[in-house]
Amino acid sequence: MKKLALLATSAAVLATFSYAKEINVGVVMAMSGPLAAYGQTTYEGIEFANSLQPKLKNGDTIKLILVDNKGDKVETANATTRLISSDKVVGILGALTSTNTSQVMAIAEKKSIPVIAPVATNDKLTENKKFASRVCFTDSFQGEVVANYALKDLNLKTAVVVVDQAQVYSLGLAKAFKESFTKNGGKIVKEIKVSSGDKDFKAVVSQIKAANPDFLFLPMYHPEVSMIARQAKQIGLSKPMFSTDGVANQTFIDLGGDAVEGHMFTDFFDYGAPPTGKSKEFIAAYAKKTGKEEVNSFVALGADAYNVMVDAMNRCENPSDSICINNAIKSTVNFEGVSGVINLDKTGNSTRSAVIKVVTNGKAVYKSTVNP
């Protein structure tokens, strides 16, 4: 009887896995071009999370299909259309910047395909969209964190804001910061507009020096911020500088050199202060595979975007049902992620903490955690 029971059980297991299939999940990411440092790091997290959890609980295998959008809007649109029409993906992870992610979400919305953004922070990104979600915080939260920390913890009362007018990311952050900073007693003594790709900031840093603020707020990406820091140092401008997650990578520090020593920025995660048990497990597995103990926050958020998608698929009777997957994503509560505990609301926005880091001796060092 025991032998018959064992054979029946084995047959049931074999029957289950004989029906197991491969399910495609798309990834739109900047693997080349000016945003490659971010895209490659984020995809590293997605890919590593997939290696740790390649199958669903029903035995289906998840196949990642990566398309490089080169950080370009047209390439992003083409990539998204191809993933949905040709590759028949059930969901998409990406893109990177808010501008390109908005493009992905607009196209996916029409086809009822859920999108989870790992790091796109613009407040309006998920507005009026049923199939758009993110695991990162929003610009308004990030801008408020900088404003409050500068005023209350550092006692900095006046600021110059340098904003990239070509990036909705930068514009949104600047707006949120200015509103919170002035509301709580701070003063914006000057706002200066620049554009992505600019390299000569001599006039900019001269204007900042003349304005003589307590500190600079630079809510932009690392190429421009590192050059502003270097050119500021050349004219003896040594005011405190504060940025956001757009500089949360070692490339920023390498480009800026000693000019970015003491530079502060907001980030999503710090491997030295793991917020969950999942964080510790992921850090240990990552160290074992790569030999590196340091886990970049974009790696962590890439992993979280993947893991939230997988968790949602596992909660669907049919894990290929994109509408069910989307509904499950939107009901994600107290999810133990690599970067922290994630709660998603019906709008697809995530409630989570932020961390503040400071560049010290050529490394980003954890300074504080700020809860919502």
- The CATH number linked to 239 is 3.40.50.2300
pLDDT of residue 16: 47
**243 and 148, same structural domain?**
yes
Residue keyed to tokens 């926005």: 349
Q: Do 325 and 304 reside in the same domain of the chain?
A: yes
In terms of domains, do 146 and 244 share one? Answer: yes
Note the pLDDT of residue 20. Answer: 78
Q: Indicate whether 215 belongs to any domain.
A: yes
b/e per residue 116-133 (b: at least 16 CB within 10 A): bbbbbbbbebbeebebbb
Q: Do 308 and 333 lie in a common domain?
A: yes
Domain assignment of residue 27, given as a range? 22-137+274-352
Q: Do residues 197 and 228 share a domain?
A: yes
CA distance 67 to 75: 9
Specify whether 116 is located in the same domain as 156: no
Tally of domains within the chain: 2
- Tell me, yes or no, whether 32 and 177 share the same domain: no
What are the backbone angles phi and psi of residue 50, rounded to the nearest 5°? -65, -40
User: Could you report the average pLDDT of every consecutive run of 10 residues in the chain (372 residues)?
Assistant: 48 54 97 93 97 98 98 97 98 94 98 97 93 94 94 97 92 94 98 95 98 98 96 97 92 96 95 93 96 92 98 98 98 96 94 93 92 75
**DSSP state for residue 94 in the 8-state scheme:** E
pLDDT of res. 323: 98
Task: Tell me, yes or no, whether 113 and 130 share the same domain.
Answer: yes
Do both 108 and 33 map to the same domain? yes
Domain final residue, candidates 237, 267, 297: 267
pLDDT of residue 55: 98
Q: What is the rounded distance in angstroms from the CA atom of residue 161 to the CA atom of residue 104?
A: 30
The whole-number pLDDT of residue 305 equals: 98
Residue located via tokens 């998840």 = 62
Q: Which residues contact 66 (CB under 8 A, 6 or more apart)?
A: 27, 29, 31, 43
